[in-house]
Amino acid sequence: METVNIVTLSLSGLMLLFVGAMRLSNPIKTYLNNSGIRLENDVNLLNEMRGVSAVMLFGGLISRS
């Protein structure tokens, strides 16, 4: 049972790392490809999206260590 938990947490950490990095690097393209949501070039909205992406990225980093 412990092996299943380790594998599950490792995979979820890798997914958080990948999604957080992709959304942090280019949020306009990533949101359009994944959900069809169009983000305008509004600075405030892009900062909000990057903030959530940074939390996902660091959550993945913490869960991997």
Q: Which amino acid is at 7?
A: V
pLDDT score, position 4:
92
Q: Which of 6, 4, 35 is nearest to 19 (CA)?
A: 35
Q: What is the pTM of this model?
A: 0.74
For 28, counting Cβ atoms within 10 Å of its Cβ (0-12 exposed, 13-18 middle, 19+ buried), the class is middle
Where exactly are the structural domains of the chain?
2-64
Number of Cβ within a 10 Å radius of residue 53: 19
pLDDT of amino acid 17: 92
Encode the chain (65 residues) as per-residue pLDDT tens digits: 899 988 998 899 999 999 889 888 888 887 777 777 777 777 888 888 889 889 989 988 887 66
